[in-house]
């Protein structure tokens, strides 16, 4: 036995030693266990939706479209509420995502009306001297794959040089569309590509045809004295004019709507009724083949871009028509791919990410039916470089045991941040010969950093700077200055209905001097612009952002414009073809789409 006094001393001594051991163990795990988990290169699974609005999924507040699988990722990981695309349109946004750099640095930002690649047979695309995250991970021993949409170009000088192809940008395997979905890819849908130009070309062709018929009739009736050679010349010129444009726009279904496996065209034109099954099968197969890792799988969805082709299993199932059906089908595909990770025992060793390339397409309509996304409380939509919903997108991360589950981060982040984040996880080194605009998100995602590394984010519309965001870290304010905004049509509509998307320059925009200024931390809907009368810091903020613009522009260097008119026009000698041009049609998939 012992006295109570001695027992107390012994108890306190043991308790202190226990606490010290527990504390040491905890520190050891946080310092070494987490480090060890990070040092063993994780598999990386990236999901990128096309045209998905931030308000379209449950974990961002939608309670009518069912997205249980994406919501599960958010519950089991980290959700970003201020995740920003570097551009409001597919081609430049994806170029920035792949390279960690604003699209203007690589020449993937346009100064004309063509702000995205228009044809598989154009000569523009992601330059060979740009280094994608796939290339850097490939160098770190990763097997890299891309399933789905590319939209970064194919060829430069010949139909098979594949200078812009995914396999020339660090991907070991590619299956999907080198282009993007369009209404033209589905029968009985109104054309989507260059609609206004096509209307003019049809009008000119009809005028020429009418002129030829008038001359011929006049000659035959004797009312017009003209030589037959002149009539024949008019006929030849008119025929050549018609052939010159109809040979491209008349066959968009064949030229743009194709599927490729690596360098080979497998479907031309593609059969949309089985495309989702093919993409899903390829993604699951890639995971199974590379389960011993490490692997990078980039699943670049064709959903939810128009024409919103949806399989029968999901048609009419949602409460939001065809668009809701398409979103729910995409979520189902996410779930199936996540199930394959679970089946292979890879869930805890896979860094998973879900986002959209830009905001929802407000102008996408079929009569009164909305075919574009819902953007929640935010202003704007796809194609708008400054307004929030052109660029604010979902951003969800999951890595069980490494990233804290159920975390919400309100700091400004960018799709460009994925580049340095993945390179860090893979143990690679960022390129030192160029500016990288993205920032490593790992400290922020783990909770080891409270603030985003971004102080300024620059919001481009094509090659035109429309707005700038300043993250004033000491006060928590998120200032945003708009120097250019689109003119909505009709006025006050919040979008450019009748134009497809809002323009970046010309008569379709308004310039602001001084800029429209908002504090997004107080006014996330950008409803009430501030002024020197209503905001004491107005002049200080505007000057600060102005200096940041000057510094940013000093980091830009001239590069060839990949989206120039010459680079985006259709060139028949560059057309990917599974036969002998122009006889380009094939179906090498057959009945390979078994239900998954």
169 is catalytic: no
Distance CA(487)–CA(505), nearest Å, equals 10
pLDDT at position 591, please?
Answer: 52
Q: Which of 59, 90, 504, 578 is catalytic?
A: 90
Distance CA(97)–CA(149), nearest Å, equals 13
Of 421 and 63, the structure prediction assigns the larger pLDDT to 421
Of 215 and 308, the structure prediction assigns the larger pLDDT to 308
Q: What's the length of the chain? A: 596
Distance CA(85)–CA(92), nearest Å, equals 10
Question: Residue 139 in contact with residue 99, Cβ under 8 Å?
Answer: no
Q: Is the pLDDT of residue 162 over 60?
A: yes
pLDDT at position 3, please?
Answer: 47
Q: Is the pLDDT of residue 103 over 80?
A: yes
Distance CA(346)–CA(541), nearest Å, equals 48
Report the topology of domain 43-181+259-454+571-587. Alkaline Phosphatase, subunit A (3.40.720)
pLDDT at position 7, please?
Answer: 45
Q: Which of 59, 83, 151, 466 is catalytic?
A: 151
For 476-524, the pLDDT digits (tens) are 999 999 999 999 999 988 999 988 899 999 999 999 999 999 999 999 9
164 is catalytic: no
The arithmetic mean of pLDDT across residues 208-233, rounded, is: 88
Helix/strand/coil (H, E, C) string of 158-202? CCCCCCCCHHHCCCCEEEEECCCCCHHHCCCCCCCCCHHHHHHHH
Q: Which residues, in sequence order, are CB contacts of 240 under 8 Å at separation 6+?
A: none
Residue 467, helix vs strand vs coil: strand
């Amino acid at each position: 036995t012992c006295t109570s006094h001695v027992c107390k001393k012994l108890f306190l001594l043991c308790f202190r030693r226990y606490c010290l051991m527990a504390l040491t163990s905890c520190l050891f795990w946080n310092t070494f266990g987490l480090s060890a988990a990070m040092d063993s290169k994780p598999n990386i699974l990236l999901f990128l939706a096309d045209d998905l609005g931030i308000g379209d999924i449950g974990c961002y507040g939608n309670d009518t479209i069912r997205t249980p699988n994406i919501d599960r990722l958010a519950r089991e990981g980290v959700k970003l509420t201020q995740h920003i695309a570097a551009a409001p349109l597919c081609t430049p946004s994806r170029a920035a995502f792949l390279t960690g750099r604003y699209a203007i640095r690589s020449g993937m930002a346009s100064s004309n009306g063509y702000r995205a690649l228009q044809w598989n047979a154009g000569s523009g695309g992601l330059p060979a001297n740009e280094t994608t995250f796939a290339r850097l991970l490939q160098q770190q021993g990763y097997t890299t794959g891309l399933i789905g949409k590319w939209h970064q170009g194919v060829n430069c000088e010949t139909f098979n040089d594949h200078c812009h192809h995914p396999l020339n940008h660090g991907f070991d395997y590619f299956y999907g569309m080198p282009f993007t979905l369009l209404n033209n890819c589905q029968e009985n849908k109104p054309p989507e590509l260059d609609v206004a130009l096509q209307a003019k070309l049809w009008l000119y062709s009809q005028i020429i045809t009418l002129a030829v018929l008038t001359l011929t009739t006049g000659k035959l009736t004797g009312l017009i004295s003209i030589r037959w050679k002149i009539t024949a010349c008019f006929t030849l010129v008119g025929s050549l004019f018609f052939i010159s444009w109809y040979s491209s726009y008349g066959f968009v279904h064949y030229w743009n709507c194709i599927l490729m496996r690596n360098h080979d065209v497998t479907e031309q034109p593609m059969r949309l009724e089985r495309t989702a099954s093919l993409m899903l099968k390829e993604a699951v197969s890639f995971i199974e083949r590379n389960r011993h890792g490490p692997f990078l799988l980039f699943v670049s969805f064709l959903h939810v871009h128009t024409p919103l082709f949806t399989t029968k299993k999901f048609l009419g199932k949602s409460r939001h028509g065809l668009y809701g059906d398409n979103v729910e089908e995409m979520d189902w595909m996410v779930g199936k791919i996540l199930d394959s990770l679970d089946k292979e025992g890879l869930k805890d060793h896979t860094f998973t990410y879900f986002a959209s390339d830009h905001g929802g397409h407000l102008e996408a309509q079929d009569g009164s039916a909305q075919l574009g996304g819902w953007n929640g409380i935010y202003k704007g939509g796809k194609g708008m470089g400054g307004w929030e919903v052109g660029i604010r997108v979902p951003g969800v991360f999951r890595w069980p045991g490494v990233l804290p589950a159920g975390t919400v981060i309100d700091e400004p982040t960018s799709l460009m941040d994925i580049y340095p984040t993945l390179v860090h996880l893979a143990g690679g080194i960022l390129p030192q010969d160029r500016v990288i605009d993205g920032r490593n998100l790992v400290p922020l995602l783990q909770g080891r950093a409270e603030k985003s590394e971004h102080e300024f984010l620059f919001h481009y519309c094509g090659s035109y700077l429309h707005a700038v965001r300043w993250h004033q870290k000491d006060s928590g304010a998120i200032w945003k200055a708009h120097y250019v905004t689109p003119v909505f049509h009709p006025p006050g509509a919040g979008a450019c209905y009748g134009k497809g998307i809002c323009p970046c320059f010309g008569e379709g925009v308004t310039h602001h001097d001084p800029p429209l200024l908002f504090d997004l931390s107080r006014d996330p809907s950008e409803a009430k612009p501030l002024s020197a009368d209503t905001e004491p810091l107005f002049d200080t903020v505007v000057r600060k952002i102005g200096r940041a613009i000057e510094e940013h522009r000093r980091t830009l260097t001239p590069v060839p414009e990949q989206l120039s008119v010459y680079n985006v026009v259709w060139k028949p000698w560059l057309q990917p073809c599974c036969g002998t041009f122009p006889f380009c049609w094939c179906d090498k998939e057959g009945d390979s789409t078994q239900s998954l």
